[in-house]
Chain A
């Protein structure tokens, strides 16, 4: 019964610790008990050190109380426990809906196990990486399994391509025509047509989709092709790990053995000199070998600050093409396409309504559609303009304007042409007292402050004074048209 002790321990900690601390530091820990040793796995060094510092003494005490006969030894490691591994291993295949985020392994996990150009020896899932790391060497998740010499059960899955990003479901419009045509060319003649293909443009416009579409097309033509997609951060992280592990030659060999290398968001190479250097050499090697490269960036290469000139100029050797924000018709088409993928009937007027209001990028369109689908699924109502309006109220509405006491006092004083100081003063003449009461009533209605807090802000008055003011103004709004009008005007100017 490996985990019973830890479960009891957790239950005690849950009672003792504020729930926030428990959820932040204890919740992510995984356990594994081996004989007399209880090992807790933390997701990273920072959390491990924090737990070791702040909670380990108490955990040891609890272990002593829970299992006094045979107190387990407590060890803290970085990585994941066996349970999660097993849970992950038996997880059902991903559904079509979430397949876009279901990559299997880091691109580089197999680089230390060298292979021919078509024999990617990637290693099982990344979650296998750090099982009970024993030495610093193995803490470097990406490289560790490779160093342990595991081979991949299924190479074809290991290259991080999202299979739902294809040419078929890429919605063409004026804004992306050129990029799409170039991408198709590359897919037909990899390494020849345009090398590198450099796609740039704002966020969420489909650069990554196009890049994967080329990769998927290449895999379709040649299932043995080694097409590797990765985010620039991973290239940097892999390089750093390779340096730490003294495995830089494996790193080079891996990256130079690919048939196509797709690197996303290369602007994050900026100011990382060593990575740029390494990438420069990889780039040259791939180009010479006629292997295809596709790069994306949020801006034109020349405009990337902190990037070496020689890289900038090389990026321009192939074809550099911009992806622009989609125009209205394209946005509507994208929505219809995504709705069809989710098997939702989206009437054109509802799609038009969303597309008119969300212009900036496709991610936001997708988010909006998902929100609408969530409402539709929940209420069982068909998607129509009304449902769209209702569900996107959250997203589109300007945030409830936060009205402050200051703001109310200033606005009221201005409206009645008196000074803010008058509102705070002890004066009780009608010309000051009435506006003060109006301001108090507004404060009660528009802010979240308590009666005593409102009283305080009006020159330290009692909460009963505020209560009286609220009642008085309520009564006057029913009987006195001037006050009714004043209140309405003030309410409007404070809330719009």
Chain B
């Protein structure tokens, strides 16, 4: 067996930035609003919602990217079990806070109250807020009315989930961002055969990127089948 080339850390970084977000026409007003968030013309609050895989987390992190050293990204799916008041204390000193997975803490009084107070402090301190959740402020099961009404205070944008063609385009685009060429048939194969949530697909892309570099192989359907054991 030939020795596999060690994959050194020379792949292109594929961060969640605006440059690596494949937007469609429907996204444009939202992208413009998000990019303005770090500047004087930004809104005090933005709210985006959409199903998993619609790009919310990507966009929130991209917004943080424009505000280096003065922004925080808070994925509540991961942080929701931490003490809310302690975690959120003092964050209003940042210029931008991007709070993701709001739906994960909706209905938890401790979190709702901490977020409500953070909201008020943020407005007082000119700290911009971007929220993301799986449903609109009206439908999010938030118990604290004071918080719910504040969530809808700024513009609300919906992000649609990509369809099959959209997913294929995203895969090809993200592969290109990594300097990897993904033929159409490979993207089609992945979308029909691999797990279909965007996070898993990105993980698959990561695996393929590493293996393709290590094996010095182009992405072909047989190669992908072999790597993924499909």
**Are A and B physically bound partners?**
yes
Residue of A whose beta carbon sits closest to that of B125: A126
Q: Which residues of A contact B69 (CB under 8 A)?
A: 27-31, 81, 83-84
Task: Give the contacts of B65-98 with A (CB-CB under 8 A).
Answer: 65, 68-75, 78-79, 82-83, 86-91, 93-95, 98
Say yes or no: A27-B68 contact (C-beta < 8 A), given A45-B86, A46-B87, A452-B193: yes
User: Is B123 within 8 A of A101, CB to CB?
Assistant: yes
Contact of A20 among B78, B117, B138, B197 (CB under 8 A): B78
Q: Which residues of A contact B135 (CB under 8 A)?
A: 399
Q: Is A476 interfacial (CB-CB < 8 Å)?
A: no
A394 to B148, CA, bound (A): 17
Distance of B159 from chain A, by nearest CB (Å) = 9
Contact of A24 among B75, B117, B139, B153 (CB under 8 A): B75
Binds B, one of A149-157, A191-199, A315-323, A357-365: A357-365
Distance of A266 from chain B, by nearest CB (Å) = 12
Task: Give the contacts of A435-457 with B (CB-CB under 8 A).
Answer: 448-453
User: Is B155 within 8 A of A23, CB to CB?
Assistant: no
Residue of A whose beta carbon sits closest to that of B167: A448
User: Is A204 within 8 A of B149, CB to CB?
Assistant: yes
User: Is A20 within 8 A of B73, CB to CB?
Assistant: yes
User: Is B89 within 8 A of A44, CB to CB?
Assistant: yes
User: Is A98 within 8 A of B9, CB to CB?
Assistant: no
A226 to B78, CA, bound (A): 44
User: Is A15 within 8 A of B153, CB to CB?
Assistant: no
Q: Mark A59-101, 1 if CB is under 8 A from B, else 0.
A: 0000000000000000000101101100100011011011011
Distance of B150 from chain A, by nearest CB (Å) = 6
A84 to B17, CA, bound (A): 22
Task: Give the contacts of B40-79 with A (CB-CB under 8 A).
Answer: 40-44, 47, 49, 51, 53, 57, 61, 64-65, 68-75, 78-79
Contact of B73 among A24, A106, A402, A449 (CB under 8 A): A24
Q: Is B165 interfacial (CB-CB < 8 Å)?
A: no
Residue of A whose beta carbon sits closest to that of B118: A233
Q: Mark B147-165, 1 if CB is under 8 A from A, else 0.
A: 0111011111110010000
Contact of B158 among A127, A368, A394 (CB under 8 A): A394
Residue of A whose beta carbon sits closest to that of B114: A233
Q: What is the interface residue range for chain B against chain A?
A: 35 or more
Say yes or no: A19-B16 contact (C-beta < 8 A), given A28-B94, A203-B145, A363-B153: yes
A24 to B124, CA, bound (A): 22
User: Is A80 within 8 A of B93, CB to CB?
Assistant: yes
Q: Which residues of B contact A84 (CB under 8 A)?
A: 69-70, 93, 95
User: Is A399 within 8 A of B136, CB to CB?
Assistant: yes
Task: Give the contacts of B1-52 with A (CB-CB under 8 A).
Answer: 9, 13, 15-16, 28-29, 32-33, 40-44, 47, 49, 51
A113 to B28, CA, bound (A): 50
A184 to B29, CA, bound (A): 41
User: Is A450 within 8 A of B194, CB to CB?
Assistant: yes
Q: Which residues of A contact B82 (CB under 8 A)?
A: 46
Q: Is B107 interfacial (CB-CB < 8 Å)?
A: no
A393 to B153, CA, bound (A): 16
Contact of B136 among A141, A395, A453 (CB under 8 A): A395
Q: Is A43 interfacial (CB-CB < 8 Å)?
A: yes
A174 to B219, CA, bound (A): 68
Task: Give the contacts of B86-137 with A (CB-CB under 8 A).
Answer: 86-91, 93-95, 98, 113, 117, 120-126, 135-137
Distance of A40 from chain B, by nearest CB (Å) = 11
Q: Contacts A24-B74, A83-B69 given; 9 further ones with Cβ under 8 A?
A: A14-B13, A19-B61, A43-B91, A92-B40, A98-B43, A103-B123, A127-B125, A203-B145, A204-B149
B residues at A contact (CB < 8 Å):
9, 13, 15-16, 28-29, 32-33, 40-44, 47, 49, 51, 53, 57, 61, 64-65, 68-75, 78-79, 82-83, 86-91, 93-95, 98, 113, 117, 120-126, 135-139, 145-146, 148-150, 152-158, 161, 191-197
A residues at B contact (CB < 8 Å):
14-15, 19-20, 23-24, 27-31, 43-47, 78, 80-81, 83-84, 87, 91-92, 94-95, 97-98, 100-103, 106, 126-127, 130, 141, 160, 202-204, 231, 233, 265, 268, 298, 360-361, 363-364, 366-368, 370-371, 373-375, 377-379, 391, 393-395, 397-400, 402, 448-453, 463
